[in-house]
Chains A and B, each alone.
Chain A
Amino acid sequence: MFIMGSFIGCGKQKVTAAGEESQSTDAIQGEGKGNISMSGSTSMEKLANALAESFMAAHPGVTVTAEFTGSSAGVEAVMAGNVDIGNSSRALKESEKETGAVENIVAIDGIAVVVDPTNTVKTLTKQQLIDIYQGKIRYWHEIGGSNFPVVVIGREAGSGTRNAFEEILGIRDSCFYASELDSTGTVMAKVASVPGAIGYVSLDVINNTVSTVALDGVEPTAENIKAGSYLLSRPFVMATKGEIGEQNKLIQEFFNYLGTEEGKAIISGVGLIIPD
């Protein structure tokens, strides 16, 4: 029912697979036609849409649909058989794995903490970062820096980067921002131009207009994030009900596609790190 459900509504193969019932999965698998549905994390919207678009371009006749309802809802939907893939922007919980959800990490999202280039503070502990964002540390000299005040820059409510940052640090909605900006670019510009500013951005946009800060002594690099030693990172999971090998051909093909050069280019194109 789960597999059948995902192909209902595909009118095309009525024409192509003549004489067969539209719900016949064999015909679909053989010809690479059909429908992949996924739902889940809003943070994965960019990735899911980019992958859906390019996969559909590479496989004419296949429709990939994606809904963005939140990580937990996504995993629930895949386990209930409503969708083929459940997107989750966090590692699956043990309770979810027990029900049979399989954690396929397709990408890793890294968040870098940035300060203006004149700032002498090069490393922060997790606690210092929390104190800065909760307004307990107000001047850089309190943590061995210059005499400038701390100007706390963040993203607007609802931003995936903000959610990830606050969730990983455990300070969800207890931050005091001086500026809540609505794009990564404006955060970068603001941090670069205001002495004493601190902000957070996706790892891929870092350039030399700002300095990155090491967290607990770990630099925000792709290597450290892959090794799991950098604090501000999270996996992007495309959960399936059972192993990938147990899925239908089309979904297997989709996961194969993620491993191809083209698939990898899309993952890094939306600013994510490819897991080993």
Chain B
Amino acid sequence: MEIQKDLTIMGSNKNKSAAEKTAQSVFTVSALIAVMAVASITIYMIINGTPALFQVGADKLLFGTKWAPGALEPSYGILYIILTSLIGTTLAVLLGVPMGVLTAVFLSEMASKRVAAIVKPAVELLAGIPSVIYGLLGLMILNPLMYKLEMKLFMGSETHRFTGGANLISAVIVLAIMILPTVINISQSAIQAVPIHMRAASEALGASKIQTIFKVVLPAAKSGIITAVVLGVGRAIGEAMAISLVSGSAVNLPLPFNSVRFLTTAIVSEMGYAADTHRQVLFTIGLVLFAFIMFINISLTRILKKGEHNHD
């Protein structure tokens, strides 16, 4: 009896260790694939993105303002494209973040259960809508409105180039709406994570609900909200489909009523026919975008680490 028991234990131990080992290698391989993907993308972007920097000249490429890749003497300045992405994203964040954070406050602090039961799923639905739909709506609704506004403002102008409503403002509004779900969801969980006793203490000291929200809850949820902002920036700067439909895609200085081209749309719109240096410059644009996104991610990790530190 005992011997048999020993044997079974021995046997199951063996099986167990085999299963453990298999599982471990499966996990390791999965993890390696993700790491390899990141590493190969990074290497690929650098290998493909750098030749043009030398061919064209880094200063001419990054700080040149004339984008004429098809000209007899081609010119590959992407400064306006970089500026458009930076300014467009900044404006979208300035517009979208306050809206998103206030919505999150409303959902977690003010809304009755019934209202929250309607608003919360609506926000989640917003996150699931494909970006091309945002673009189409912008094209059908925003652009004609912008065109009307443009005609009111610039009619008779001898210097303004009419865009038909496809301009920076349209792109910014679409981007601001697109980052809303990210900002709302993450800020809301941050706000809900603020311990109830902090609110109770504040209210017990005589602070009103609004005072409590702005003086106690939001400062306590700061690191979560910053995370929301950074992720929003990441979403906005990487978006291509929606803004390619509404921004006009001509390379111009990013002024509100100018037709503009973002880093992402610059790649998308010309990859089809580009060849030689032109194609390599598109890869360089990709590399610039990649650098921006890496920068955003690294700062996000820093913020999160700092946040953890504060909690300790």
Contacts and interface: CB of A to CB of B under 8 A. Distances in A.
Interface of A: 42, 135, 138, 148-153, 156-160, 162-163, 172-173, 176-182, 186, 190, 193-197
Contacts of B154: 149
Given A156-B269, A179-B249, A151 B163 contact: yes
A176 B273 CA distance: 20
Most chain B CB inside 10 Å of its own CB: which residue of A151, A156, A195, A196: A156
A71 to B, nearest CB: 14
Most chain B CB inside 10 Å of its own CB: which residue of A42, A152, A182: A182
A190 B275 CA distance: 27
A42 B154 CA distance: 40
A190 B272 CA distance: 20
Q: What 6 pairs across the A-B complex have the smallest Cβ distances?
A: A158-B273, A149-B162, A194-B164, A173-B71, A151-B164, A182-B269
Nearest to B150: A149
A196 B162 contact: yes
A178 B273 contact: no
What is the predominant secondary structure among interface residues of chain A facing chain B?
Answer: loop
Contacts of B84: none
B259 A178 contact: yes
B274 interface: yes
B270 interface: yes
Contact of B147 (A42, A138, A194): A194
B70 A179 contact: no
Nearest to A162: B70
A156 B249 contact: yes
A179 to B, nearest CB: 4
Given A158-B70, A163-B70, A173-B70, A178 B270 contact: no
A145 to B, nearest CB: 14
Contacts of B250: 177-180
Contacts of B275: 42, 158
